[in-house]
Chain A
Amino acid sequence: MGSPLARFSVTVDDGHLAELETVASALRESGMEVERVLGALGVITGQAPADARPSLLAVPGVTSVDEQLRVALPPPDSAVQ
């Protein structure tokens, strides 16, 4: 049984900003389904098995791999939003 999929944000270090596509390819080979390569920020987002985090972190140029946070606003009729 594979590990359930989790959503990750992968932060790329300053030295690899010019090679984001190369880093993205290596992440794909490590089991990540890449959704977005954000060129201005040097961040790559997508999904991967929850237990794939160590292998994603091992990809050259990757400085941080974090499970995505979820934001939720109160309903529109709340007094405080």
Chain B
Amino acid sequence: MIEPPAIRPPRLPAAQTTGRQVVVFADAADAADEPVDWSAAGISDVADSRDFTSGRVPAQAMRDAGATVFARLGIAVVSAGPDQVAALRGARRPVLSVSPELVHHVLPEDPSAYVRGYRDGVTDLAARLVGAPVPGEEVPPPPAFEDTAAATWGIQAVQATTSPFTGRGVRVAVLDTGLDLQHPDLAGRTVTAESFVTGVDSAQDGHGHGTHCTGTACGPRVPPAGPRYGVASEAEIWIGKVLSDAGSGDDGGILAGIDWAVANGCAVISMSLGADVAEAHPPYSAAGRRALEQGSLIVAAAGNNADRENGGYGFVGAPANSVEVLAVGALDPRLTTAWFSARSLAAPGGEVDVAAPGVDVLSTWPMPDRYNTISGTSMATPHVAGLAALWAEATGRRGYELWATLTQASRRLTEPSVDVGSGLVLAPQEGAGSVRRA
């Protein structure tokens, strides 16, 4: 396991406070049923936003009151010392936190910023032209993640190793070339498989790609041999074979697979496939939106059409370039953009939304090979699908809410947002999805 480099937080100036306290209460099913006992803290003159017209508490009333309650937020501002407020902690409605009220200021304008920016720009240009190191860029890169005996680099990077969540009770659909249905690593798992390829009855994988993606999304917590490579180890596996053993398929079968997954309540639909077209394809936009409305999130590969070593940045293909489909770019073990990973299109929907491990990814392969290590945005996508299942389990969120949760919880990277979107998606850790008591 690679430890992240120690980062020293910048020293911040002390915040100005007003002497009042901001109290946050726990959620109550009905706040009226659990009134706050202000008298226990010796506080009278309570102004409640519900007692004022249109819920607005006038500034004068706030100044005069011992406590001002914002009922919709479950927050009160109290004119009292911390000791006095502590008496509320024993009250019936639980208190989550008590913090000093801060004084906020308009951010100061800095007239010298322009001049400094100009100076830095000239310094940077000069340095680049003469090949000297650019000031501020001399920091050595953090160590790369590495596969260990316990887990692949990708599983470590997304912090699945320390997550208590497993995707239990969440259905994950993988629409691909199928699955090696006899693979020993998935023995005993709930697998529902269907073929949508014309003339093919079985979802058995005769290519390998689908088996690899399924392993990454849903592989076991402790594989019988080798390191852990899978994210959502207890998710229900739904396999839609939409690509032939030669690796090809068309809209008809792919849309049928999406329809089947949505109709069966799959919270996550993983699609490591795409066509190199630069425009959003209307049927996938409609499918993505209607899937989200029914609680299914489609996660798709951004595409491998970049050739960054030769100056080619590529573009996000269909279906990932639909607004309603979450597009995934690929990262290498240093968390930089993979050389093949497609860049965002300028058109709406053509953005790379998030990124995940997609270089040298070890996962399942049809027997007798058992495992294979390959690269692609196809390999990044099922990491995100598995992580979505963990978040779906942890928070109960689905559809657009689940999408927002993934981007919110991703680790920001110094790579351009056109390549990695909101950054590296991370697994929910202990306590995620619930409001904890302070």
Contact = CB atoms under 8 A, between A and B. Distances in A.
Contacts of B246: 72
Nearest to A37: B259
Nearest to B339: A80
Contacts of A42: 286, 290
A9 interface: yes
Interface residues of A, number: 29
Given A41-B259, A69-B318, A80-B340, A7 B254 contact: no
Interface stretch (B57-65, B122-130, B152-160, B276-284): B276-284
B256 A36 contact: yes
Contacts of A73: 177, 207, 209, 243, 247-248, 273, 378
A35 to B, nearest CB: 6
B248 A45 contact: no
Given A72-B247, A81-B376, A66 B259 contact: no
Interface string B290-302: 1100100000000
A64 B283 CA distance: 8
Interface in B235-265: 243, 246-252, 254-256, 258-259, 262-263
Contacts, number: 113
Of B273, B274, B287, the most chain A CB neighbours within 10 A belong to: B287
A41 B295 CA distance: 12
B328 to A, nearest CB: 14
B375 A9 contact: no
Nearest to B282: A64
B174 to A, nearest CB: 14
Contact of A66 (B207, B256, B282, B340): B282
B28 interface: no
Interface string A6-42: 0101010000000000000000000000011011111
B378 A81 contact: yes
B251 A7 contact: yes
A56 interface: no
B252 A35 contact: yes
Contact of B286 (A39, A43, A78, A81): A43
Given A40-B290, A43-B286, A43-B287, A70 B275 contact: yes
A66 to B, nearest CB: 6
Contacts of A76: 207-209, 247
A40 B287 CA distance: 8
A14 B242 CA distance: 26
Interface string B208-245: 11001000000000000000000000000000000100
Contacts of B379: 81
B374 interface: yes
Contacts of B259: 36, 38-41, 43
B374 A9 contact: no
B213 to A, nearest CB: 9
A1 interface: no
B247 A11 contact: no
A29 B215 CA distance: 45
Contacts of B304: 80-81
10 contacts: A9-B251, A9-B282, A40-B259, A40-B290, A45-B251, A69-B318, A71-B273, A78-B374, A80-B374, A81-B374
Given A41-B259, A81-B376, 7 more contacts: A38-B258, A63-B286, A69-B281, A73-B248, A76-B247, A79-B375, A81-B209
